[in-house]
Amino acid sequence: MKEASKLWTGRYITILVMAFLFFLGIQILTAGFPAYITDLKNNPTQGGMMTTVFMLSAIMTRPLIGYFMHKVNLMVLNMAALVLVAVSIGASYGQDSTVLLLCLRALHGIGFGILSTVLATMATNMIPTKKLGEGIGYYGLATSVGTSIAPMIALSLLQLTSYNFMILLTVGLTIATLVISFFVKSPQKNPLPQKKNISFKESIFDKDAFIPCSLTIFFTISLGGVISFMGELGKEADLAASVPFFFLVLSIMMVLVRPLSGRLFDRYGHKVILYPGVMSGIIGLILLAIMDSTGILLLAGMFYGIAYGVVTPTLQAIAVKKVKKEKQGTANAMFFSGMDFGIAIGSIGLGALAAITSYHFIYGFSIAFLIMLLLIYTVVLFERKGQVDKKISEVM
C-alpha cells in the first residue's frame, strides 16, 4: 500500500527520462527539417509541409493507438514505435528529395503519435490517484523542457555542423530511449485490465474526457500562433533579436509553475488553478498584441509561460481523472489529438489572418479563444459551490 501511494518510484523516474530524451530528439527534427528544406530548396512552403505532414500523421494515428493499447502490451508498442522512429530517421541521412523526406516525416509523425500517447499512459498508470495532478505536472515538465530546448539545438547544429549530424544525434537519442525502456520493470499486475470484445469506438473515445480534451483545442490555437509566428512578430516590432529571450522566459516559468500547479490540483481541485492560468494567458496575449519593447515582450513570456505550465497539464489531469483506469490511454490519446489539432488550426488560421491584418492583431484575436475556453469550462466543468472551500478547510 505504501508503494502504491509513492510518486517517485524508479519506474516513474525512468519514464520521465525516456519522455525527455524522446521529445528532445523528435522536436530537434521538427525544428530542423523545415529549416533544412527551406534553405535547400529556397522554398518556405516545402519547409512548412514537413511540419504539417508530421502533425497530420500523429493526429490520425492516435485514435488507432487508443484501440491497440487495449489489445497489445504497452511496452511492446513502445519498443516497436521507437524502432520505427529510429529506422525512419536513419533513412533520412544524406537525403535531399522532398518527396522522400515527406514520406519519412509521415513515419516520424506516426511514431510520435504512438509514443507520446503510450509514454503518457505508462506514466499516468504509475501515478497514485491522490497525486495525479502533481505526477502529470512533472511528466509534462519533462516533455516541455525537451520540446523547449530542441529548436535552439537544431538551429545551432545546422549552423555549426550539418543536417546529417543532426540526423545522427536524433537517432542516438532515440536508441538511448529504446535502451532505457528495457529497464522499465513491468508491474506485477497489468494496470490496464483487458475488456473482452471492447469496441473500436469505446477504445478511441470516452465521453467523460471529451470536454477537457476539447477545451485543450481552444488554448492550443493560441499556442500555435505563439510557436509559429513569434519570429515574425519580432520583425514587425523591430525586436527580432529579443524573441529567443521570450522563449527562455516562457520555459523558465513553465519549469517553476508546473510542480506547484500539480500539487494545488491534487489538494484543492482544478478550478483553483485553471481560472488564474487562463487569465494569465489572456494577459500574455494582450501584452503581445501591444508589444513594442523588449520589456513588454519578456513580461508577455512570463505570463504566457505561467498559462502554458498550468492550463495544459490541468486539462490533461481532468481528462485522465474522469475516466476509468483502463480508459486512461484513450483519454491521453484524445488529449494529445486535441493539442495537435489546436496547434494546427492556430498555425494555419492565424497565419492566414496575419497575411491580411498584422502579427500584433492575431495575438489580440487569440484572446477570444481563451475567453471561450473559460465560458465553456464555467458552464460544464465548474465544481459545485462550496466544494473547494470544503477541501481547503479539511487541509487547514
For 63-112, the DSSP string reads HHHHHHTTTS-HHHHHHHHHHHHHHHHHTTTT---HHHHHHHHHHHHHHH
Whether 363 maps to a domain, the answer reads yes
pLDDT in tens, 136-185: 888 988 888 887 778 778 877 887 888 899 999 999 999 999 999 988 86
Is residue 123 a contact partner of residue 139, using CB atoms and an 8 Å limit? yes
Of 16-30, 228-242, 269-283, give the lowest mean pLDDT range. 228-242
In-domain check, residue 196: no
In-domain check, residue 191: no
* Residue 198 confidence class, pLDDT cut points 50, 70, 90: low
What confidence tens digit (pLDDT) does each residue in 86-128 have? 999 999 998 888 889 889 999 999 999 999 889 988 888 888 8
Q: Is 167 in the same domain as 212? A: no
In-domain check, residue 194? no
End-to-end CA distance of the chain: 25
> Domain residues for 64?
1-184
- Domain check: are 244 and 96 in the same one? no
pLDDT in tens, 329-369: 888 888 988 988 888 888 888 888 888 989 899 999 999 99
387 in a domain, yes or no?
Answer: yes
Q: What is the widest separation between alpha-carbon atoms in the chain? A: 63
As for how many domains the chain has, the answer is 2
Q: What CATH number should be reported for the domain holding residue 306?
A: 1.20.1250.20
Q: What angle do CA 282, 284, 287 make, to 5 degrees?
A: 110
Is residue 192 in some structural domain?
no
Grade residue 17 by pLDDT with cuts at 50, 70 and 90.
Answer: very high
Q: pLDDT for 260-295, tens place per residue? A: 888 888 888 888 899 999 999 999 999 999 999 999
For position 190, what pLDDT does the model report? 40
CA 378 to chain centre: 24
The answer to whether residues 88 and 107 touch, using CB atoms and an 8 Å cutoff, is: yes
Examine the domain organization and report whether 254 and 173 are in the same domain. no
Q: Are residues 373 and 238 in the same domain?
A: yes
d(CA 388, CA 268): 6
pLDDT band at 2 (very low <50, low <70, confident <90, very high): very low
3-class secondary structure, 237: coil
Handedness of CA 369, 149, 355, 44 (dihedral sign): negative
Spatial distance between the Cα atoms of 72 and 58, rounded to a whole number of angstroms? 19
Asked whether the predicted pLDDT for residue 45 surpasses 70, the reply is: no
Q: Are 247 and 302 in contact (CB under 8 A)?
A: no
User: All 3 cell numbers of residue 301?
Assistant: 513570456
Is 361 domain-assigned? yes
- Kindly give the interhelix angle for 243-268 and 207-236, rounded to the nearest 10 degrees: 160
Amino acid at 220: T
